[in-house]
Amino acid sequence: MDQGLREPSRLGTTRLPDGRMLGWAQWGPEEGTPVLYFSGAAMGRSLGFGADVLEKLGVRLISVDRPGLGTSSPSPTRTLNDHAEDIRNLASALALRDFGVVGFSMGAPFALACAAAGLPKAVAVVSGQDDLNHPALAGLLHPDVAGMLRAIAQDPAGFEASFAGMANADLLWKLITGTSSAIDLAVYTAPVFETAFKQALQEGFSQGSQGYAHDLILAMGRWPFDVASIQVPVDLWYGGHDTSTVHSPDHGAVLAGRIPTARRHLLPEAGGALLWTHAEDILASLRQRLGG
């Protein structure tokens, strides 16, 4: 199975007010309801999802390269709130109204930053990284993750520089597959999917490792917004066989209780790759939230 993977129907870049460029890729009907997609760690814009159901659902999917990844200009001092401002400007430039956002894995805090800023009409977090510094999660973290959190809190710039010195596409592929369940490995290592996934990682590191390293600091550091302030609908999607050590350690249970508008979907038979194995369910639910 190809898990709904297709080549983008359109590639583009948008100039922001400060002169930086944001790169993006698009699938689905031009007149469809816009959904911005924030991908996982170091993934370039070419790896979409659900392309085989976008026409049916009337969804225009737009994958956005974060600064320093793929075709987007670097922004080495950016914050999660700066990301929301970038998306505000991108949506204005592309004339997007009543759009949704999907954040996968490391894309989750970027999606929730936009939700806290009130930009999208609805958000779906899929196999998302959690607010790992929340006290309720402390006893659930993998020791390696807990150590990373401590190191980032003590010296974020030093950790970022050190991590950037060793990170690359091959390392990240090994980290992802090395912490995946058998259910997810069957998806990730299928020939068509593995090729597309590795291509997206090569894109993500095409400018070097700094963009990814800074994303890591933002995602695993203290978030500069309060998830309890979010007022737009948020769907949290997790698979029971998701064994990634950097995704939510309790499959979004604490996070769902902190976000007043959250609706949690825990699929016992699915893994962390449910963005691709359950794309139609995720997009149909988001489309309904958007008034479709």
pLDDT class of 159 with cuts at 50, 70, 90: very high
Residue 3 within a domain:
no
Positive/negative CA dihedral, 126, 127, 129, 132: positive
Q: Is residue 228 part of a domain?
A: yes
Domain assignment of residue 257, yes or no: yes
Q: What is the band of 3 on the pLDDT scale with cuts at 50, 70, 90?
A: confident
Residue 1: pLDDT above 90?
Answer: no
In a domain, 142, yes or no: yes
56 has pLDDT over 70: yes
Question: What integer best gives the mean pLDDT of the chain?
Answer: 97
3-state secondary structure 117-144: CCCCCEEEEECCCCCCCCHHHHHHCCHH
User: What per-residue confidence (pLDDT) applies to 220?
Assistant: 97
Cα 175 to chain centroid distance, Å, stands at 17
Predicted local distance difference test score (pLDDT) of residue 192: 95
Q: Output the CA torsion sign for 96, 210, 188, 46.
A: positive
**Res. 2 pLDDT band, cuts 50 70 90:** confident
Domain presence at residue 1 = no
pLDDT grade for 291, boundaries at 50, 70 and 90: confident
Domain tally, the chain: 1
| The 3-state secondary structure of 11-51, one letter per residue | EEEEECCCCCEEEEEEECCCCCEEEEEECCCCCCCCCCCCC
**CATH number, domain with residue 82:** 3.40.50.1820
**pLDDT tens by residue, 169-222:** 999 999 999 999 999 999 999 999 999 999 999 999 999 999 999 999 999 999
As a whole number of angstroms, the distance between CA 50 and CA 237 comes to 15
Task: Tally Cβ neighbours within 10 Å of residue 194.
Answer: 14
Residue 69 pLDDT > 80: yes
- The DSSP-derived string for the chain is --TT----SEEEEEE-TTS-EEEEEEES-TTSEEEEEE-STT--TT----TTTHHHHTEEEEEEPPTTSTTSPP-TT--HHHHHHHHHHHHHHTT--S-EEEEETTHHHHHHHHHHTT-SSEEEEES----TTSGGGGGGS-HHHHHHHHHHHH-HHHHHHHHHTT--HHHHHHHHHHT--HHHHHHHTSHHHHHHHHHHHHHHTTT-SHHHHHHHHHHHS--SS-GGG--S-EEEEEETT---SSS-TTTTHHHHHHSTTEEEEEETT--TTHHHHTHHHHHHHHHHHTT-
pLDDT surpasses 70 at 268:
yes
| 37 DSSP β-pair partners | 63, 102
pLDDT computed for residue 100 by the predictor: 98
Indicate whether 4 belongs to any domain: no
pLDDT above 70 coverage of the chain, percent = 99
What is the gyration radius of the CA atoms in the chain, in angstroms? 17
pTM of the predicted protein model:
0.97
| Whether residue 9 has pLDDT greater than 80 | yes
In a domain, 273, yes or no: yes
Q: Is residue 187 assigned to a domain?
A: yes
What is the span of the domain harbouring residue 212?
Answer: 10-289
